[in-house]
Structure 1
Amino acid sequence: MEAEKSTDPKVVSSEIQDLLLDTPDVEAFLSELARHSASVLGSPDNEMLCGVTLLRHGSAGTVASSSERALKLDELQYRFAEGPCLTACKEGIQVHIPDLEKDKAWPEYGHAARENGVRSILALPIPLVDGTSRAGLNIYSEQPNTFDEAAVQRASDYAQQASKGLRLAIMIAQHSETAANLRAAMESRTVIDVATGIIVAQNRCTQAEALDVLKKASSNRNIKLRDIAAAVVESAGGGAIQSHFS
């Protein structure tokens, strides 16, 4: 039988760091993290299905899953708006269901999960430093009573280490989004400035008056200010405006 993969904090931390460095973007990292979770926590004779739920601004979604089946199991909870993983995320507590045949906490979800071949579930909160987000690691097994005390501890230790990589991934995604928004804002500002200059030259007016002309045209035509400015530049033969910044 294949040896049980290590959940030693140093080993897991190193492996997750390698995942983060070796994947091209945050989305790819999260997918690899889910597959890594399933590999580390499962065994050849007991496959695990893993998903990572992110709860942000009251809305829950799976940001990564080890397989399509794992994703479906997560989405069942969102459909019923109840389940162990949602509870783990919202309340920051560990939720363990040894056998869905005997569990009565979430009858609708439990019945649907059993129909999809699941018998035991372990849901673990993933600590995040982002005050607006909560996350959880969802682990599903086809076998009942999969998670004994040792297995629960292994999974809990793993989730603690995985949280570090997840926090970093979220930070990277937020910085990338901020950078993209800044770039878009700067591009808009550039074309508006050029259009304003053209109007100043054509009408011998002030910069403030030229900008007012653009704003009135934008309002009257119900077209974005940037698009009005781009049309002015194009009509003057300026072509597409390129913003140069790093």
Structure 2
Amino acid sequence: MQEASTPSLVIENVQDLLLDTQDVEDFLNELARYSAQNLSSPRGEVLCGITLLRHRTAATVASSSERARLLDEIQYGYKDGPCLKCAREGVIVHVPDFKTETMWPEYCEAVLNHGIRSVLAIPFELSGQEAKAGINLYSDRPNAFDASAVEHAISYVAQASKGLSLAVRLAQHSEAAANLKAALDSRTVIDTAVGIIIAQNRCSQDEAIELIKSASSTRNVKLREVAAAIVESAGGGPVKTHFI
């Protein structure tokens, strides 16, 4: 493997990737490509896959190439493998040669059929977050990752973790903001529907809310959908939340 880039250079490049991408999935794909370039050498190309586990069951897979993506999909098809174990448990997983590996026999046979002989999976350090992640490095050569290569990869991942951690944190803030907006939009249309029912039926607020809940239960649709139908039928059209 080539000599490791300096930590400051890795951090700078990863930060640039973060600034140049629109969301965490785009960032991961760019990071996978950059990682494959950084960790390959004249002796052999390294294919790179990145797995990000969020909300316990969600998974975002990024790949440095189409072939790397296919290899990750094989792993996901078996619901287990080096990178999944690495990300879930936060441990380094090294398979020097799939021909002699006894864990994941069906998976090993599948990747051997695609010409892959060895793999190194290293967890990212995402301290203080529920998300977990790991990088999967594939090689066509057996024993491709010697002690020096493993040390290089560990050092690289330690530096890249800083950018990934920031990307995940930003994604969480964006999701929280989107969820809040959705909740406020639902509250607005429901409140508007309640006002219409009160005006039309001269009933109390509690009675109006119960009418909407009853319609929601009877029709087996969400409260917001019932409320939106009430507003539209009254000629109000779509309701928007305005922030003043």
Cα shift at 1:131: 5.3
Of 180-189 and 55-64, more deviation after overlay is shown by 55-64
Matched with 1:149 is 147
* Counterpart residue identity of residue 245, structure 1: F
Give deviations 1:62-88, integer Å, cap 9, x for gaps.
521111211222232333344322332
**TM-score, scaled to structure 2:** 0.89
Of 178-187 and 125-134, more deviation after overlay is shown by 125-134
**Which runs of 4 or more aligned residues in structure 1 lie more than 6 Å from their structure 2 counterparts after TM superposition?**
none
Matched with 1:168 is 166
Give deviations 1:27-78, integer Å, cap 9, x for gaps.
1111101111101101355111101123456647452111121122223233
Q: 1:214–1:71: structure 2 CA closer, same or farther, 3 Å change rule?
A: same
Of 61, 65, 70, 1:72 maps to: 70
Mapped contact 1:122–1:147 kept (Cα < 8 A)? yes
Of 83-92 and 145-154, more deviation after overlay is shown by 83-92
Matched with 1:245 is 243
Mapped contact 2:4–2:156 kept (Cα < 8 A)? no
* Counterpart residue identity of residue 71, structure 1: R
Of 98, 107, 110, 1:109 maps to: 107
- Whether 2:235 is the aligned partner of 1:225: answer no
CA distance in 2, matches of 1:134, 1:39: 23
Matched with 1:83 is 81
Q: Match of 1:7, SS?
A: coil
- Whether 2:158 is the aligned partner of 1:123: answer no
Matched with 2:38 is 40
Of 30-39 and 165-174, more deviation after overlay is shown by 165-174
Cα shift at 1:236: 1.6
Of 94-103 and 234-243, more deviation after overlay is shown by 94-103
Cα shift at 1:14: 0.8
Matched with 2:135 is 137
Cα shift at 1:138: 0.4
CA distance in 1, matches of 2:60, 2:203: 55
Size of the aligned set, in residue pairs, is: 244
Q: Match of 1:138, SS?
A: strand
Matched with 2:18 is 20
Mapped contact 1:122–1:139 kept (Cα < 8 A)? yes
* CA RMSD, Structure 1 to Structure 2 (Å): 2.3
Of 91-100 and 30-39, more deviation after overlay is shown by 91-100
Q: Match of 1:226, SS?
A: helix
Of 179, 182, 185, 1:184 maps to: 182
